[in-house]
Amino acid sequence: MLKTLTATIALFALLLVWPAAVRAQDSTYLARLAATAYDQAAAAIADDPAPGISVTVLLPSGHWIDATAGLADRVSHTVVSPDTRFLSGSIGKSVTGLIAAELASEGVIDLDAPISTWLSGQPFWPDLRNAEAITLRMLLNHTAGVPDYLEDPGFFLSGFLRGGRGYTPAELVGFVADEAPINTPGTAFSYSDTHYILIGLILEAATGQDYHSLVRERVIEPLGLTDTEVLSGRDHDRLASGHVRGVFGLSATARNHRLNHNLDHEWAAGGLVTTPGDLARFYAALGSGELSAPGAQMRANAFVVDAERGSSYGLGLYVRTYEDGAFRIAHGGDFGGYRSAAVYDSKTGITIAVQANGKSFEAPDFAFALMDEIAAITP
């Protein structure tokens, strides 16, 4: 009964959004797109991978569609709306990659310089394995081989002792600095949040600004991402209640717009509170328009992750380039009981972003499948 009621409310909410969010281009075409987006959103949560889902489809004309289904909070029965916010998870790496690309174009940093240029004075430096062989670009494309602190038992166990106190970036690196490298620097792809914690420290050292200020001044404010803020503290307006799946079903990671735990450690590796609408605007800007130059730099010389699938990783984003020069850029996020994904397709100029408040929801799969369905609908 709850699923039926939720779907009915969400469909009603979508119908109310259409006149504002979908400007008159071709009403029949846009209605088909909106119906497809909603149908897929409702179907995606039918098996309870997440209580709620929010989707934005941004068209090259500037028109957009918001489709929502399910609950932002299961206790209060609050439905998901287009302004419901979620944790971005690792999509925030694209923000960090953009800042690095911009600073490189301004001559502030050299992507191929050794990281000792900025980090040799850090407390973890004497212990960091292969430190002298690692460059900034290797951190950005995940080939530096530094282990992921999120997978370190010491980090996990320390969470029980620290209470609500967070970690400094240097402390996070310290958990894994003396561990065996995953690979020789520059030779293999090994995804690690520690890489982006190190990048955040480098950006701060190179600019003399704190990371939060860099994000606000270089990304949030210029792009008008009014629903986005850097994750700091536990209280965030309009935040959906995240969920992880345990022995007794879904367990909430947030209640009443308040996170159960301090998650500030995500930081430069993806610490954002945002909406699919803002994520779509950001990714559309990376693929075309005002950020096309740094976006191209972020795609250039990407390290091949899966040659068979044509997947590579550039400066904070996954890249797929086609024989005709067209490309897709994308990233997913999985953090704190929330899942997110964003994808831009240069062939169609369409951008899709999706967020859900459950860890079990496969956001990238959903985004790619919806992209193919939307692209197949002709005006």
Is the pLDDT at 165 greater than 80, yes or no? no
Write the DSSP string, 206-234. HHSS-HHHHHIIIIIHHHT-TT-EE--SS
| pTM score | 0.92
Over 70: is that where the pLDDT of 74 sits? yes
What's the rounded mean pLDDT across residues 170-195? 98
- pLDDT over threshold 60, residue 114: yes
Q: Residues 317, 326, 364, 28: is their CA dihedral positive or negative?
A: positive
Mean per-residue pLDDT over the chain, rounded: 91
Q: Do residues 316 and 329 make contact, with C-beta atoms less than 8 angstroms apart? A: no
Mean pLDDT of 125-142: 98
Can you tell me the mean pLDDT for 260-283?
A: 96
Give the pLDDT mean for 38-48: 94
Given a cut of 80, whether residue 42 has pLDDT beyond it is: yes
Most confident of 2-6, 62-66, 193-197: 193-197
CB atoms < 10 A from the CB of 180, how many?
9
Residue 306 predicted with pLDDT over 50: yes
Q: What is the CATH number of domain 86-336?
A: 3.40.710.10
**What is the DSSP-derived secondary structure letter of residue 326?**
-
pLDDT value at position 163?
A: 66
Q: Which tokens is 101 given?
A: 């690309």
pLDDT of residue 11: 40
Over 80: is that where the pLDDT of 144 sits?
yes
Ranges of each domain in the chain: 1-84+362-379, 86-336
pLDDT at site 54: 98
* pLDDT for residue 164: 66
